[in-house]
Amino acid sequence: MLSDDHVNEIVIEKLIASLIPMTSRDRIKAIRNQPRTMEEKRNLSRGSLTIMTEEEGRAEVCLTWQKIVDKEKSKQSHHILQLNCCVQCLHSISQAYRRSKSSLSEILNSISLWQKTLKIIGGKFGTSVLSYFNFLRWLLKFNIFSFVLNFSFIIIPQFTVAEKNTLQFTGLEFFTGVGYFRDTVMYYGFYTNSTIQHGNSGASYNMQLAYIFTIGACLTTCFFSLLFSMARYFRNNFINPHIYSGGITKLIFCWDFTVTHEKAVKLKQKNLSTEIRENLSELCQEKAKLTFNQQLTRFSAYVVAWVVSTGVAIACCAAVYYLAEYNLEFLKTHKNPGAVLLLPFIVSCINLAVPRIYSMFRLVERYEMPRHEVYVLLIRNIFLKISIIGILCYYWLNTVALSGEECWETLIGQEIYRLLLMDFVFSLADSFLGEFLRRIIGMRLIRSLGVQEFDIARNVLELIYAQTLVWIGIFFCPLLPFIQMIMLFIMFYAKNVSLMMNFQPPSKAWRASQMMTFFIFLLFFPSFTGVLCTLAITIWRLKPSADCGPFRGLPFFIHSIYSWIDTLSTRPGYLWVVWIYRNLIGSVHFFFILTLIVLIITYLYWQITEGRKIMIRLLHEQIVNEGKDKMFLIEKLIKLQDMEKKANSSSLVLERREVEQQGSLHLGEHDGSPDLRLRRSVQEGNPRA
């Protein structure tokens, strides 16, 4: 039982709890209406106020903490929002970059030249023949860029101050390059050496600086483009590991389901089948095991072929040298306009005939890999053609330049134009006439020859030879890139028609993914490096003509740069240009360090290649070993299963025998029981028995 005081306390607590939620007025009325003494009413009022004050304090503390927490949360949410905004901005920028890059690549692919034709060539003749046409298109892009650069900064300014040409045009100039073309923007001698300025307040244009800087920018761009292209193709074809997998995943999973047109589907199927044949041909090729006598015979054939090819090249270079020495005197004594075509004609005959002789060596050498055969032919042809160009450059820089002619730069430009044109004419004649006759002979007269295959090495070296002449002649004939553009454009269609009519696909399918790298390397060295050496000697060592060209009156071509640097050194705002020239461009140490860096990068690339090859070989061995382990485990599992089957069968036989024995015993017992009963009954009836 609870006491009265305890009950009273409980009632008061409940009353105070009921008073707390009320307003102050309602609380006072409720307390007044209570039937209690004044002292009790005061205690009720104080108790309710005390509890309310405590709860208000707690509420204020909770509110304060809630404000602090909300503030911290707002700070964190603001910081997270800022981070999310930055991440979203970076993500949107990267997405926009990827989309713009993909759209730009799609636009470039859509406007790319001969896209469908190249697919047809690749599907019918494989990647080896396709590499020639890709290389031709790549050179065409080079010449387009060079022409745009020369036309914008050299030819257009010269047109504004050019005088009217008074020479008569006869049409023979297209073949000789002389006459009417001499006084046009085609050659070096026509350009002015004065500063072009229209009006007294117009901007001035220094033709000397424009000429040498434009040519320098063109060659510098070509230099870095060649380096970049070599690095890109080298990385894609030698360093990336996917090239060692045989391209199987690409062949299995590369079908484009957006291709719905019937002709496009057939072309895609033909490309895939050709690529499969090329991959399988390399996977199935086994190195033939030769005896010692066969190896000795083959090595002797290689040595003889190299000795004969080198001797032929040396004889051709000697013939070109003596002909070039005699050519200048020959031209002075013979005034016939066609006499200038003698040297280009002989050189073009050599370039046409000797590579065909080199191609016949394959009958003796018999390389196992078609790629090795192409590499050998490329090396022999590049040695021949670059040696001829080197002899011609020596003739131009040491004989023509020092002969005292009125404008020797224009004479060199005309010589290069004739060489380029004659080489183009011979190539066209060979495509439409020589290759056609070869097909007729192989199909109708001597059927054992058969239809010929496309000679990649010879055709590629024709392109490299022509491009080398263009790079040398761009200083003496700024319009040569435009002429080369037209020739390459015509050559593509001529070679394409001849390929479809006169050639058969390669008898040995082989992948040419690494050929483009080798082509660009040959174009860079020795072709482009030789051009740089020739032009460096011209600019730094030879004296310009006194009566023609933008550098007339100077002791050397490079003095135009020296005088410009001296002018800038007097202007404080251009001292940084002077510093760059004297410490970087004009410094031998800078180029030494740059060359060292390039060699180090090349060495690193090579080491990366070797390391990845070793890693891929180890991974292949690991895969093979894992396959062997799996086969071993499978064999063990099969043996265990066989043993279990044998054990189960033997146990079943034993169980059957036991069951049969037990059954026979039960039957014996069952059969013997009546006899036993009979005997007992007899014994009971007859005790004696």
d(CA 340, CA 177): 9
What pLDDT was estimated at residue 488? Answer: 94
Q: What is the pLDDT of residue 35?
A: 67
Q: DSSP assignment of 6-55, as one string? A: HHHHHHHHHHHHHHTTS-HHHHHHHHHTSSS-HHHHHHHHHHHHHHHHHH
Q: Which residue has the tokens 């006759």?
A: 437
pLDDT value of position 421: 94
Residue 366 makes CB contacts below 8 A (sequence gap 6+) with 298, 301
Q: Which of 77-81, 347-351, 445-449, 656-660 has the lowest mean pLDDT?
A: 77-81
Q: How far apart are the first and last CA of the chain?
A: 106
Q: Are 554 and 567 in contact (CB under 8 A)?
A: no
Percentage of residues of the chain with pLDDT beyond 90: 24
Question: pLDDT (tens digit, 9 = 90+) per residue, 54-63?
Answer: 555 555 555 5
Which of 145-154, 329-338, 670-679 is predicted least confidently? 670-679
User: Both tokens of residue 115?
Assistant: 């896209």
Question: Residue 65 has what pLDDT?
Answer: 59
111-120, 305-314, 675-684: least confident range: 675-684
Is 146 buried (19+), middle (13-18) or exposed (0-12) by CB count in 10 A?
A: buried
140 confidence band (pLDDT: 50, 70, 90): very high
Q: Name the token pair of 599.
A: 């060699």
Q: Which residues are CB-contacts of 323 (< 8 A; sequence separation ≥ 6)?
A: 342, 343, 346
- In sequence order, the β-bridge partners of residue 195 are 206
pLDDT at 493 over 90: yes
Q: 351: buried, middle or exposed (CB in 10 Å: 19+, 13-18, 0-12)?
A: buried
Q: pLDDT confidence of 177, banded at 50, 70, 90?
A: confident
Which residue is listed with tokens 């933008």? Answer: 550
344, 418 Cβ separation under 8 angstroms: yes
Model confidence band, residue 245 (pLDDT cutoffs 50, 70, 90)? very low
Q: Which two tokens stand for residue 55?
A: 């709860």
The 3-state DSSP composition of the chain as helix, strand, coil percent (nearest 5) reads: 80, 0, 20
Q: Which two tokens stand for residue 210?
A: 């424009």
Half-sphere exposure of 492 (CA within 13 A, CB side): 21
pLDDT of residue 105: 64
Contact 320, 346 (CB under 8 A): yes
pLDDT higher at 281 or 266? 266
Alpha carbons 651 and 541: distance in angstroms, whole number: 104
Nearest C-alpha neighbor of 473 from the set 393, 543, 540: 393
Domain segments of the chain as ranges: 1-48, 248-288
Q: Collapsing DSSP states into helix, strand and coil, what is residue 450?
A: coil
Q: How many CA atoms lie within 13 A of 174 on its CB side?
A: 4
* For residues 403-428, average pLDDT: 91
CA distance 345 to 326: 15
The 8-class DSSP code of residue 189 comes to: G
Residue 682: the pLDDT is 43
Q: What is the DSSP letter of 188?
A: G
Decide: 351 and 378 in contact? Cβ < 8 Å.
Answer: no
pLDDT band at 608 (very low <50, low <70, confident <90, very high): confident
Tell me the HSE value of 290 on the side-chain side, using a 13 A CA sphere: 10
And the tokens for 172?
A: 């023979």
What confidence score (pLDDT) does residue 240 get?
55
Please, are residues 449 and 213 in contact by the beta-carbon 8 Å criterion?
A: no
What Rg do the C-alpha atoms of the chain give, in angstroms? 47
The pLDDT of residue 395: 92
Write b or e for each residue in 486-519: b if 16 or more Cβ atoms lie within 10 A of its Cβ, otherwise e.
ebbeebbebbbebbeebbebbebbbbbbbbbbbb
Across 72-86, 434-448, 504-518, 542-556, least confident range:
72-86
Per-residue pLDDT tens for 506-541? 766 555 556 778 888 888 988 999 999 999 999 999
Q: What's the CA gap between 413 and 182, in Å, rounded?
A: 10
Q: What is the mean pLDDT of residues 624-645?
A: 86
Position 659 scores a pLDDT of 64
**pLDDT at 16 > cutoff 60:** yes
Instruction: Please determine, for residue 43, whether its predicted confidence score (pLDDT) is greater than 90.
Output: no
Has this prediction a pTM greater than 0.75? no
Alpha carbon of 288 to those of 291, 294, 369: distances in Å?
10, 11, 11
Eight-state DSSP code of residue 398: I
Query: What is the pLDDT, as a whole number, of residue 508?
Result: 62
Residues 132, 454 contacting (CB under 8 angstroms): yes
Q: DSSP letters of 296-343?
A: HHHHHHHHHHHHHHHHHHHHHHHHHHHHHHHHHHHHHH---GGGGGHH
Beta bridge partner(s), residue 205: 196
